[in-house]
Structure 1
């Protein structure tokens, strides 16, 4: 089995990465950052998102494992002091995994260029200044004319990220759905939007057509696309999925509870 290590540049993460490399070599596993079977990320959720996009073209053959060296990691199951236990799990790996849905993003620019992107968490579209106006279609049927700061389109696991801060629902990772939430929409007696997040099934898609193609800012996880005139953006569940090595992968709702609530049972 070939193991790749993807780390941020922080001192704590660098120390963990160096220890991890030494221990992996000591047990006879092969280190390969180019064509790995397992990618171990060292840092936090931002590091894992970067690793996901780095290995995006290898999703059919790569499983991820996350070590977090900070205070909170939603996608990361291991702590920095558990390197020995993780290496032992690598030695006894039998291919076990759990997978999560991804977001497929299709972008058409006014110059005729088409681009396809994948997101693990979410994609947003906003206007740089002023109010964004956009026609929103569901399965090619006009749904509404949106007015506001922007729209956030998220995956189930991404529903706990920016989507949650916009008032969107937290969705089970076992559902292959897309959520669209509004960012500061304008609703009064003249202008109306639905005013609620919407959930899109796997056989549906959402298309957003900005009324003004210029001055729009689009994001795909951490990637920012600006200064490009967007004709339309379409969103749906991707055919690809991200896989995590399920050595002791934390159950989704336990992860949500521990990350946001920290509740303990009453005695």
Structure 2
């Protein structure tokens, strides 16, 4: 890492406990010559304090910056984005100083709803019924109609997000070195009228996925990007693809995605 990158922004939930933790991390940062800034736009390093959820929030709230490094510090167990614990803050800043880290380029999902301004997410985009009733989605891969889905919803995830919501509906865990989209069903109905693949499927990095919500009275689905719901009342068409951008995630040199998977799930 460039030793001139000294401005650090801390992202955390403003509770008394987290304020105390942030003070400790601030002192550690200053002892290594780093400057804590109050505006994320001025930072070359953005540190989230919490868990993976806090990391996702930090990336969302700072607009998926490509020209900085994101670091996750966990207050509990290590996650897929949080490679350091609060007891390892000294190790973190020493590793940054000595450039004894690895940088993972994490792909970002672009979501365009009704041809309007794109949204971005690091883990997944979900589309779900907002009432106790299934709804219909026409699924297109590139320009080809692929299937007609009826059910509770769909999840489109990145490799980073494959260990989250997607996995809970029996999606595959995807190596983060494979840029791709995974499409997973939530409680699909398969009968003579509606027929889907019936399993998750994976699209390459240059594919475009389009979901068209059939306007049959239940056409106000809930759309979520990572852990945030969008305030869009009438979604007709959703375009999803890997964005032409990535974020840089700081990890320990010895980091292993599959060891984290093993520790978490096996």
TM-score (ref. length: structure 2): 0.90
Can you give the 5+ residue segments of structure 1 that lack an aligned partner in the other structure? Answer: 262-267
Q: Secondary structure at the match of 2:236?
A: strand
Q: State how 1:226-237 maps to structure 2 within 5 Å.
A: 226=231, 228-237=233-242
Find the partner of 1:184 among 184, 187, 195.
187
Deviates more, 1:114-123 or 1:220-229: 220-229
Q: Secondary structure at the match of 1:56?
A: coil
Q: Residue deviations 1:98-153, cap 9 Å, x none?
A: 21111111111xxxx61301110000111212111011100011111100000000
C-alpha displacement of 1:193: 1.0
C-alpha displacement of 1:174: 0.4
1:44 aligns with 2:46: no
Can you give the 5+ residue segments of structure 2 that lack an aligned partner in the other structure? Answer: 1-5
Tell me what 1:123 maps to.
125
Q: State how 1:213-252 maps to structure 2 within 5 Å.
A: 214-226=219-231, 228-248=233-253, 250-252=255-257
Tell me what 1:133 maps to.
136
For these two proteins, the number of residue pairs brought into alignment is: 256
Tell me what 2:204 maps to.
201
C-alpha displacement of 1:95: 8.3
Tell me what 1:106 maps to.
112
Q: State how 1:150-169 maps to structure 2 within 5 Å.
A: 150-169=153-172
Assess, with a 3 A threshold, how the Cα gap between structure 1 residues 4 and 127 changes in structure 2: closer, same or farther: same
Q: Secondary structure at the match of 1:188?
A: coil
Find the partner of 2:99 among 93, 97, 122.
93
Tell me, in whole angstroms, the C-alpha distance in 1 between the residues paired with 2:81 and 2:100: 21
Deviates more, 1:86-95 or 1:130-139: 86-95
C-alpha displacement of 1:28: 2.1
The question of whether the paired residues in 1 share the 8 Å contact of 2:109 and 2:120 is answered with: yes
Tell me, in whole angstroms, the C-alpha distance in 2 between the residues paired with 1:101 and 1:25: 31
The question of whether the paired residues in 2 share the 8 Å contact of 1:134 and 1:145 is answered with: yes
Assess, with a 3 A threshold, how the Cα gap between structure 1 residues 162 and 233 changes in structure 2: closer, same or farther: same
C-alpha displacement of 1:187: 1.2
Deviates more, 1:87-96 or 1:141-150: 87-96
